[in-house]
Structure 1
Amino acid sequence: MTVQSPPSPLHPASTATSSPGTAFREPAADDFMLGGFTWRHAEPDPARPVVIINAATSVRCRHYSRFADYLFSHGFDVITYDYRGIGESRPASMRKLKASWSDWGSLDFEAMLQRAQREFPGQPIDVVGHSFGGCAAGLGASGQLIRRVVTVGAQFAYWRDYAPASRWRMLGKWHVVMPLLTAIYGYFPGKRLGWLEDTPAGVVRDWATPTAHYQRRPSGRHLARRDPALPFAKVKAQLLAISISDDPYGTVPAIERLLDYFTSSQRSHWRIEPGDIGEQEVGHFAFFRSHYQDRLWPIALAWLQHAALPTDAPGRLISGSH
């Protein structure tokens, strides 16, 4: 759902009590092998939350490594992982891969929920979701396990929700060019174009389908046949949706559209202008860059720690309460 930036290298947190960023392999329910990294403190603590970070569409989990370092240094255990077809979870052949947005949520994210339960028994489970990663947070069958959620620019790419100034260019790029190239290659060769990671054809079909309803996306229809309400209602977490006003994907309608699916959650939407933090632009991607560690990351940290915003948080409340 976003243009891929060069991945950040793994970088140990300054206050780590063990070596963070340890690689792991984890099978999903269909035995597809997923790859990721764990930041684990040396001593177990049932009061210490473990945070699962859900990436944006076709963005490698390494992009979030410095943010994972930050959470680890503030007392959290952390799991990052790649969806099937991406980064550490890329198979030998992308053309043969059957994968969709719903697979990324109902199989891959669900596998991480199960891993968190097994590897960190008794610890609270929190989630950070970027872009589609916020949607994935609502697609796991074990969503009731989640205590708190922070999403950043989270939506599922309904084209009419794109920012008006960018809408037609984005429509052509993601809903015309991307499907056409996918039809030719059998997957979207995003990496060679410098747009994003190579992307499974099923994910492209979900993204490019022009509907405002997730359950009408190709893989969403599959989930809806089993459960018309979709799994979102299982999530009863305290949810903070962060959006940036110059994010052409994360407009207010786009953020609110996804929030409406989390019917059982306490939801708040916090919107930030670049000028609130002394910047001219931030966009869809920059939140997770270490440049914003002192200005934006404390907002997510405070929510994960206390389900509250810092008293000096830049921005304003769009919906919900805090």
Structure 2
Amino acid sequence: MKALSIISGSSHPQLADKICSKLGTEKCKVVLNKFRNSETNIEICDSVRDMDVYIIQTSSNIVNDNFMELAILIHACKMASAQKVQKINVVTQGHIDDPWNRLNGVPLSEYQKEMLANLQYSKESYKLWASRSGKLVANILSVAGADHLITLDLHEPQFQGFFDIPVDNLHSHNLVCLCIKENIENYGESVIVSPDAGGTKRASIISAKLGIEFAMIHREKKANILIGDVAQRECILIDDLADSSNTIVMASYLLKEKGASKIYAVITHGIFSGDALQRIAASPLDVVYVSDSIPQDVHMQQCPKIKRFEVAQLFAEAIRRNHNGESVSMLFDDQ
């Protein structure tokens, strides 16, 4: 069997350490730094010849630098005669809170949002020359030499179609259920709440797994409508991603207005950009549980309401099964 090598980018070395610990292996030694002109410099110090290489890199924080570092890492491994280069990508898409963050119905990436912000356009008519960066990013990773991509809770599952290589989009449903069971004492009497119509499927799966009631919030221009009864009940908001945190904060105010006794949120990817943490701190939210798919140490220091749960075991199992040629279908089980 081919040897296994784990390489960590600079975006989240702690996650790579946890994955290596679960797998009982050590990280490949690499040097990651920048030249004086800020150009990325990478040196792979251990041999990866004829190995299956897994690169751990998130798309959070300094997105452009992390992405370029990832592409160079993939290419360096290919040039070093790695058998396969498989990228573990934890989150690739920014949150979409505003319906105007869409172009012809297609969710925009952070690159596209920035471009549109710099264009003179009105909300009556979109300018159609904005870059379709999702496909471009997929092409860059493929050309760099990536053979396989493993992701977690893509904000839009359709993004898998941008890639010409296999993509395994893992689900966090079982991790979310475990987090709820371990941290919310009377979860059996709680109500799972989807903060918008787009998250209904995800929240209903969690509700069915836990065997508890389900409610949802229907967002309209004039007012948000709660479908379900939450009076004198503990509510658990479920979402895949919190960036500006508009969605969960607005939902928490509505739930409080409808008589919820306590309000939790369980989020897969916690980006918390801008003043998101301050708004969470001032909101009716009691606790926000978020995975460590993105580094959360600073967020937890800035907002005591933020608590963390781990995803390393899920990725470690995906790597183990992939490396051994076993099926990963059980990791997509939604039942």
Common fold: TM-score over 0.5 = no
TM, length-normalised to structure 1: 0.42
Larger Rg: 2
TM-score, normalised to structure 2, is: 0.41
Higher relative contact order (CA 8 A, sep 6+): 1
